[in-house]
Amino acid sequence: MTFLLALDQGTTSSRAIVFDAAGQAVASAQQEFRQHYPQPGWVEHDADEIWTTQRDCVRLALARAGLAAADIAALGIANQRETTVLWERASGRPLAPAIVWQDRRTAGHCDRLRAAGHADLIRARSGLELDAYFSATKLAWLLDHVPDARRRAEAGELAFGTLDSWLVWQLTGGARHVTDPSNAARTMLFNLHSLAWDDTLLDLFAIPRTLLPEVVDTAGVLGATRPDLFGAPIPIAALAGDQQAATFGQACFAPGSAKNTYGTGCFLMLNTGATPVASTQRLLSTVGWRLPGETCYMLEGSVFIGGAVIQWLRDGLGLIEHAADVEALAASVPDSGGALLVPAFAGLGAPWWDGHARGTLVGLTRGVTRAHIARAALDAIALQTVDLVDAMNRDGAGPLRELRVDGGAARNDLLMQIQADLLGVPVIRPRQTETTALGAACLAGLAAGVWRSPAELARHWQEERRFEPTRSADWRAARLHDWHRAVARSRAWAEDAP
C-alpha cells in the first residue's frame, strides 16, 4: 500500500497524521506546546519547541502505524500562517521567540503606515489589508529590536520564514530555505499578481531581500528529510498554509465553493478561480495553491478568535473543565439570555480590521448564568462567520449556496446548527474533519504521483452530516442587529495600544 505523511503544525499543537491512498487516516500523534504572553497583546512561540514537538509527532505516528520512513511516499506540511521566525543560517538557532499571527505589538506601526497613505498600495500589490496580523511588520520589529539583527540580515547571515520554511530548514538540515505562494502571500511582502517577492513592499517595510526564502510550487518534490531523523529520507512534496490546505482537503476545487475552518480562529475561504478578486469589503485576496501550470486564488475572511473563545471559557474563566463540555452547557439553555460576547481579545479581523478592539460582554442581567455565557460564546463564533459571508456576497463572490466546515469546533453539533440558522444555508460536515492534514497529504500525493488530478481526489470527499437552517429571515436579522450593536461597543477600546 501507499502511505502519505502530513505534518499539521498548528497554533497550539503539532500533529502528524499518516494517510493511506484512499485518504483515510491510519495513525496520528499530537503534542501541544506552550503559549507565551509576555505583555498584553503579545503572543509568542518557541520555534525550537515547535520543531521538536513536530519531529517527535512524526516518529510517534510512524510507530503507531507500524511503518518505517521508507514506507512513506511523500510528506506534506500544513502550517499556521503569518507567524514569523528569524534564525541564524550558520547554526539554525532562532534569534528570538517567534511572533505569532495573533500578536498585536505592531498595530502602531500599521497605524503610522496607514496615516502616511500606504494602505491602498499594500492592498493593490499584496491583496491584504494593512494589519499587524501579517508577517511584514513582525519581521521589521525583530530586525529593529533584536541586537545587531538588521546588520546581520543585510550581511546575509540570517533567514526569515513562516513555519513551513522553518520546518523544511530543520527537516533538511538547512539544505532548503523555501516557502510556497500560499504562505508567501500572507507576509504582505509578496506580489499577488506576479507571484514573486515585491521590491516596493520590501522597501516600504525595510526588509532585506537576503532574508527571504525561495518560492516553490505548493505541490512538488522540493527535497527530502535528513536520513538520521526518521531512519530513511522522506520526500518533502507539499507546503501549504493551513487554511489553503483545509480548502484543498475539502475538495473546494470549483469557483464559488467555500469552506470554514473552526480552529483557534475561523477562516472562511471561497475559491475565485484563476483570477484574484479585489475586495471592496476589506476581505483578503490571496493564493489558494499553485500547482504546475495552474494557480488558484481565494477570497478569505479571517476571524482571530474562534475556538480560542472556548479555551478562554475553560482556562481563563474556569466555566468548563474540558473544551468538549461547552456543547452540553450551552445546550442547557434555549438561548444566551440576552448576553452577547464579542471575543475581540486580539482585535477584530475581517471585515472590521480593528486592532484596537477588545473583548466585550454586554447585555448582562442577574438572570445570566455560565450556561448563557457559554451559549453566547458559540453564538459569537457563528456571528463572526456570518459577517464574513455577508462581505463576500457584497463583493459579488456569492451568494453562498452551502458551507463546508472543518476544524475541532466543527464537531460541536449545536454550534453547527447555530451556524446554519444564522447563515440561512446548509452547513455540511465531512466524514474526514481533519481536512487541514488531509489537504497537505493530498497535495503531496499529487506531487508524488499517488493521484493524477484534483478531480480524482474529489471522489474521496464524503459528507457526514448536513445541518439545515430552521430559523426565519426576520430572526436572523434581529440577531445580527444586536450583534452589530455589541461589536460597536468593542471597537477602538485600546486606543493607546503601541
pLDDT in tens, 201-223: 999 999 999 999 999 999 999 99
Question: Is it the case that residue 496 has pLDDT exceeding 70?
Answer: no
Note the pLDDT of residue 497: 47
**Amino acid identity, position 300:** E
Residue 498 confidence class, pLDDT cut points 50, 70, 90: very low
What's the whole-number mean pLDDT along residues 400-404?
Answer: 91
DSSP-assigned letter for residue 77: E
Note the pLDDT of residue 1: 67
* Contact by Cβ (8 Å): 222, 236: yes
Runs of H (alpha helix) within 257-366: 308-311, 326-331
Residues 356-397 pLDDT 10s: 899 999 999 999 999 999 999 999 999 999 999 999 888 877
Helix (H) or strand (E) holding 333: none
Crossing angle between the packed helical segments 370-394 and 413-423, to the nearest 10 degrees: 40
Residues 219-277 pLDDT 10s: 999 999 999 999 999 999 999 999 999 999 999 998 888 999 998 889 899 998 998 88
What does the block give as the cell for 226? 535528513
* Contact by Cβ (8 Å): 420, 427: yes
**Mean pLDDT over the full length of the chain:** 93
Q: How far apart are CA 10 and CA 241, in angstroms?
A: 10
What does the block give as the cell for 489? 461597543
**CA 122 → CA 129, 156, 188, 203, 274, distances in Å?**
7, 26, 7, 12, 21
Q: In sequence order, what are the residues at sequence separation of 6 or more whose Cβ sits closer than 8 angstroms to the Cβ of residue 32? A: 12, 13, 53
Residue 304 confidence class, pLDDT cut points 50, 70, 90: confident
Please state the domain extents for the chain: 3-243
What's the whole-number mean pLDDT along residues 345-351?
Answer: 88
Residue 456 confidence class, pLDDT cut points 50, 70, 90: confident
What's the whole-number mean pLDDT along residues 391-410?
Answer: 86
DSSP-assigned letter for residue 283: P
Tell me the three state secondary structure of residue 14.
strand
Antiparallel, parallel or unpaired: β 25-32 and 13-20: antiparallel
The CATH superfamily assigned to 3-243 is: ATPase, nucleotide binding domain (3.30.420.40)
What's the whole-number mean pLDDT along residues 94-101?
Answer: 96
Residue 432 confidence class, pLDDT cut points 50, 70, 90: confident
Crossing angle between the packed helical segments 242-249 and 435-448, to the nearest 10 degrees: 80
Note the pLDDT of residue 248: 94
Q: In sequence order, what are the residues at sequence separation of 6 or more whose Cβ sits closer than 8 angstroms to the Cβ of residue 365? A: 337, 338
The residue whose grid cell reads 520546518 is: 167
What's the whole-number mean pLDDT along residues 422-433?
Answer: 92
Q: Looking only at Cα atoms, what is the longest distance across the chain?
A: 63
Question: Is it the case that residue 78 has pLDDT exceeding 60?
Answer: yes
User: pTM here?
Assistant: 0.86
Q: 118 exposed, middle or buried (CB, 10 Å; 0-12, 13-18, 19+)? A: middle
Annotate 440-484 with DSSP letters as a single string: HHHHHHHHHTSSS-HHHHHTT--EEEEE---S-HHHHHHHHHHHH
What does the block give as the cell for 249? 482537503
DSSP-assigned letter for residue 154: H
Question: Is it the case that residue 333 has pLDDT exceeding 70?
Answer: yes
* Contact by Cβ (8 Å): 14, 59: no
Preceding amide of 351 cis, omega within 30:
yes
Helix (H) or strand (E) holding 170: helix 163-171
